[in-house]
Amino acid sequence: MTVTFRPLLAGLGLSAALLASASTQAQDVDKAIEYRQGALRVMAWQLGPLGDMAQGDIDYDAEAFALRANNLAAVSHLPWEGFIEGSLQGDGHDIETRAQAAIGDDWAGFEERQATFRQEAATLAEMVEAGEEFNALRRQVGAVANSCSGCHDNYRWG
């Protein structure tokens, strides 16, 4: 099979270089998906205790709250560069993703929602820095969570 590979490709109008390039692109897409999934997991981890405190599931701890709010704001701009062309559902890559193809039809809307989330997360960190009271912080956690849902409801499957 190996000896007939190059002639076969040549017959199909393909070159080894082109194939190598396509393979690199596929690998890039896989890595981009894994990157964004990692970054979103980090965001969820940081948001978790904020949500738990806001909902009264765990006690409010000002130090822990500040740490999580700062971490969340610090990573809020990271995941989005991983949503590259060819990385959505049905794009034929090797990684399972819940990123719906609808993102590709509404890139501007997707980016707008990212910006809303980044703004809400930044506001939360600023409110902590300004020493605002827990009730106000609690409401802002709600605004952050809503901005997550604003995207998930439209662009994430399941």
128 binds its own copies (CB under 8 A): no
The whole-angstrom separation of Cα 118 and Cα 148 is 10
The correct pick among 9, 42, 115, 127 for binding its own copies (CB under 8 A) is 42
Among 38, 101, 149, 152, binds its own copies (CB under 8 A): 38
64 binds its own copies (CB under 8 A): no
Helix/strand/coil percentages in the chain, nearest 5: 75, 0, 25
Separation of alpha carbons 24 and 15, rounded Å = 14
The answer to the question of residue 57 lying near its own copies (CB under 8 A) is no
Applying CB under 8 A, among 15, 18, 34, 107 the residue interacting with its own copies is 34
> Min. distance of Cβ 113 from its own copies in angstroms?
21
Residue 99 contacts its own copies per CB under 8 A: no
How many residues are present in the chain?
Answer: 158
